[in-house]
Structure 1
Amino acid sequence: MITIAIAEDHQSLIDGIKLFLEYEDGIRVTGEANDGERLLEIVRLKRPDVVLTDIRMPKMDGITATRLIKKEFPAIKVIAFSMFEQDEAISQMEEAGASGYILKNSSLKTVLAAIRTVAAGDTFFDSSLKNSHTAKKDNSDVPLSKREHEIVKLIGEGRTSQEIADLLFIGKTTVDTHRKNILKKLSLHGKSELLRYSMEKKYDF
């Protein structure tokens, strides 16, 4: 059973999502909030598996709420639910720890897909967002070093920094430094973007 908490300042939108999810097996809405402070209270009380949250809310915005939720409960997955398509908003939510980002005009099927995907441990970004948010990052001409290519390949295989360090006979701090340099070169924001990039690339070594 996937338990959900929804935070949105428009109650009618919460009601619509709840009504849709009522008919889905294995998913249950256990809490709802109309502001960020109430969302934190719900999360601390109910400990949901997934949080679906707006970014702009009264009392506390979704970015701050996400950061606090992930700090206290790292296992809880957060999905941003917003009308904002700007890269800055997406990046801020990713950096705060969100695993997904969908738009309010998305279909309810997209909402459902996002919930199931992040609950399974993956990331989910609205397909209409993906094109604009990642297009500038899909640049095969970016000059990565041989070592950086090796690290990107291993990240795409799901290796942790420690595993990469062991495989390449280098220190973990060196791997972390390479990760930061790769992020900067590719104009990526956070671990999830780097993982997505590395999985989409095809390397032949």
Structure 2
Amino acid sequence: MITVAIAEDHQSLIDGIELLLKYEKDYTIIGVANDGEALIELVEKKQPQVILTDIKMPKIDGIAATKIIKKKYPHIKVIAFSMFDQDEAIKNMIKAGASGYLLKNSPLDQLLLAIKTVHLGGTYFDSSINLDLINEGAVISETKSILSKSETEILKLIGQGKASSEIGEIRFTSVSTVEKHRKNMIRKLGLKGKGELLRYALEKKYDFE
């Protein structure tokens, strides 16, 4: 059972999501909040496994709330749930620690898949979001001397939102080899998990040649 908290200042949308998840046996909503301050209080009391949060909210916005929550509870996964798909908003949520970004008009199956994916340690971005555009020119900075050539190339692809299977196809190598590179990069860069690699790739800027 995946425990979920929702932060959204429109109660009607919360009601709609609760109705959608009501009959899904693998998901349960353990709390809702109408602003960022209430979300932080909710997390401290119930510590959900996954948070679905709007970005624009009263008192504390979703970006600031995510930063606070991830600093204290790094194991909790956060998905941004927004009407807007601006590149800057997506980048800021990723930097804050979000593992996913979903648009509010997404169908139920995408919402369920996003929650399940981030819960398992992956990342999930709405199918309409162009990660290549977000990542244009944004790659890793000080890692050129730390990572091997293969690792930096794979890291750039991770920054573009590519899954291990896609990276394997692009580089004509096995998924297990890509996964091995991922583990090595996590160790070398002092990161905590796979989801950190994407955030790192988007946060740091360096043009690999």
TM-score of the alignment, normalized to the shorter chain, above 0.5: yes
1:106 maps to 106
Shift of residue 14, structure 1, vs aligned partner: 0.5
Residue aligning to 1:192: 198
| Alignment check: 8 A CA contact 2:186 2:197 kept | no
1:151 corresponds to which residue?
A: 151
* Offset, 1:38: 0.3
TM-score, L = length of structure 1:
0.73
Letter in 1 for 2:76: I
Q: Is contact 2:95–2:199 with CA below 8 Å preserved after alignment?
A: no
CA offsets 1:62-99 (integer angstroms, 9 cap, x no match): 00000000001000000000011111000000000000
For residues 13 and 102 of structure 1, what CA distance do their matches in structure 2 show? 14
The count of aligned residue pairs is 168
Identify the residue that residue 8 of structure 1 maps to in structure 2.
8
**Structure 2 counterpart of 1:73:** 73
For 2:134 and 2:67, how far apart are their aligned partners in 1? 26
In the TM superposition, 1:129-168 aligns within 5 A as: 129=129, 131=130, 133-135=131-133, 137=135, 148-152=148-152, 156-157=178-179, 158-161=182-185, 163-164=187-188
Q: Partner of 1:45 in structure 2?
A: 45
Whether contact under 8 Å (2:91, 2:134) holds in the other structure is no
Instruction: Provide the C-alpha distance between the structure 2 equivalents of 1:38 and 1:111, rounded to a whole number of angstroms.
Output: 23
Q: From the superposition, tell whether residues 87 and 46 of structure 1 become closer, same or farther in structure 2 (CA, over 3 Å).
A: same
2:40–2:69 Cα contact (<8 Å) kept: yes
Using the TM superposition, give the Cα deviation of residue 115 of structure 1 relative to its aligned residue in structure 2, in angstroms: 0.4
User: The residue matched to 2:32 in structure 1 has which SS?
Assistant: strand
Find the residue that maps to 2:30 and give its secondary structure: strand
Q: Which runs of 5+ in 1 are unaligned?
A: 140-144, 165-174, 177-189, 197-205
In structure 2, relative to structure 1, the CA distance for the partners of 1:136 and 1:111 (3 Å cut) is closer
- CA, structure 1 residues 162+39, in 2 after alignment: closer, same or farther (shift >3 Å)? closer
State how far apart, in whole Å, the 1-side matches of 2:2 and 2:32 are.
15
Alignment identity in percent? 52
Q: Which has the larger radius of gyration?
A: 1
CA distance in 1, matches of 2:26, 2:41: 24
Shift of 1:22: 1.1
Structure 1 counterpart of 2:58, one-letter code: P
Code of the aligned partner of 2:38: R
Tell me which protein shows more helix as a share of its residues. Answer: 1
CA RMSD of aligned residues (A): 2.7
Partner of 1:126: 126
Q: Closer, same or farther in 2 for the Cα pair 1:87/1:34, shift >3 Å?
A: same
How far apart are residue 162 of structure 1 and its match? 6.5
Q: How much has 1:193 moved relative to structure 2?
A: 5.2
Match of 2:28 in 1: 28
Once residues 10 and 51 of structure 2 are traced to their aligned partners in structure 1, the CA distance between those partners, rounded to angstroms, is: 16
Structure 2 residue runs without a partner (length 5+)? 138-143, 156-177, 191-195, 203-209
